[in-house]
Structure 1
Amino acid sequence: MEAEKSEKWVSINNGEYLYIPKFFTKIEGNELLKNLLEEIEWKQESKTMYGKETIAPKLSARCGDVNKSYSYNGETRHPQALSDSILSIKERIASVIDIDFNSVLLNQFRNEADSTYWQTDAANELGENPTNVYVNLGATRKFQFRHRDKKGSFDINLTHGSILITRGELQHFWVHQVAKSKKKVTPCVNLTFRRIL
């Protein structure tokens, strides 16, 4: 099911979200994408799944307050400092939601074969009901959501310069992924802004 494209909060089972498709202009988005590709130290991470080490089908980086580490899959990750481009994005987000985000996960999807697995952003370090902001720069990618208790699913096509804000119980009850695309896709960078307590 294609999600409602609206610039107002949408309530769903166990959470709500706000999607703004043209939060950044095309020119702003192009400049931010160019800067992030150049100034971020990108890595291809690996993790163990079902007893086998797998290489992530994407590049990623973590930025934020250098004294705020983040644990994921049993490993503690230490962030890079926030770049000028990320700080400018953070400042713009503050015009919509008044939260001082101190951690950013960046995923670079180089082509249609790059993707993420089903996951949630509900680690203990993020508090009880975390609010997260997803920013997409570059190619449009489908962000898919699926309820843990089979109470629905929906997709949002994250376009160039768009933002998606999730809050309430959403991260506890819904998992999300960026699936591989059947069509040829140019690069994009997706940023997830979080607040680590």
Structure 2
Amino acid sequence: MNLFSTENPQDDNLLPYDGVVNYFGTVFKKEEADFYLQKLLTTIEWRNDEAIIFGKLITTKRKVAWYAEQPFEYTYSKITKRALPFTKELAELKTITENLTGETYNSCLLNLYHDGNEGMAWHSDDEKDLKKNGAIGSLSFGATRKFAFKHKQTKETVSVVLEHGSLLVMKDTTQTHWLHRLPPTKTVNSPRVNLTFRTIVR
């Protein structure tokens, strides 16, 4: 099955129902993607992520960072983060993502996966701080990784390969009906940086 058979692949919905996910493919030239990857690795204030699971504080190998137009607080996994101001490169990438998707964003959650051993379990980005049914623009830099979706009721799964310098957008009722994850893999030994541009509501 060819998911990308039309002239504009970003118009194709990867999900069969109950949400909209558009994959734009690579939106940066390799030189541009390489530039942003290095800037993100060296200028972002990375921290090991924390979560409270079954009452215990868990610290992950994966690192995260939280940036926004205002010092928004964002709570997930029972941990609250306060946003740092956008860096020059993050502001540039936000504008590019907004122009490509036709959406607006005011914040960005970044994840750094050092290699394929690090991933993300099934979850939805449906925290109360986020705009309900709002768009999430996801940029990927670095290692190519598989990204998967699973319907909460039917358990149907859909996956896509996210390339260096690529853009994926999740919107409408996707977070209500679908889980997503980044499965670990033993075939990747280089880092990946993922930026998810979001809209925080007061």
Decide: shared fold, TM above 0.5.
yes
How far apart, in 1, do the equivalents of 2:127 and 2:56 lie? 23
Residue 93 in structure 1 maps to residue 97 in structure 2: yes
Q: Scaled by the length of structure 1, what TM-score is found? A: 0.92
Corresponding residue of 2:83: 79
The structural deviation recorded for 1:56 is: 1.5
**Counterparts of 1:146 and 1:191 in 2: how far apart (Å)?**
21
For structure 1, which runs of at least 5 residues remain unmatched after alignment?
Answer: none
User: 1:4/1:44 Cα in 2 relative to 1: closer, same or farther (>3 Å)?
Assistant: same
Superposed displacement of residue 70, structure 1: 1.0
Q: Is the Cα contact below 8 Å between 2:140 and 2:163 reproduced in 1?
A: yes
Give the ranges of 4+ consecutive aligned residues of structure 1 lying more than 3 Å apart after TM superposition: none
Structure 1 residue aligned with 2:131? 127
Q: Distance in 2 between matches of 1:46 and 1:155?
A: 27
Mapping for residues 26-65 of structure 1, pairs under 5 Å:
26-65=30-69
- The one of 140, 143, 157 aligned to 2:147: 143
- How big is the alpha-carbon RMSD for the aligned residues of Structure 1 and Structure 2? 1.7
User: Structure 2: where are the runs of 5+ without partners?
Assistant: none
For residues 96 and 174 of structure 2, what CA distance do their matches in structure 1 show? Answer: 23
Query: Which residue of structure 1 lines up, in the alignment, with residue 192 of structure 2?
Result: 188
Residue 162 of structure 2 is matched in structure 1 by 158
Deviation per CA, 1:129-149: give whole Å up to 9, x if none: 121111000110111111100
Q: 1:31 is aligned with what amino acid?
A: F
Give CA deviations for 1:26-54 in whole Å, capped at 9, x if unaligned: 11100000001111010112222234432
The answer on whether the counterparts of 1:141 and 1:178 sit within 8 Å (CA) in structure 2 is yes
CA distance, structure 1, for counterparts of residue 51 and residue 155 of structure 2: 29
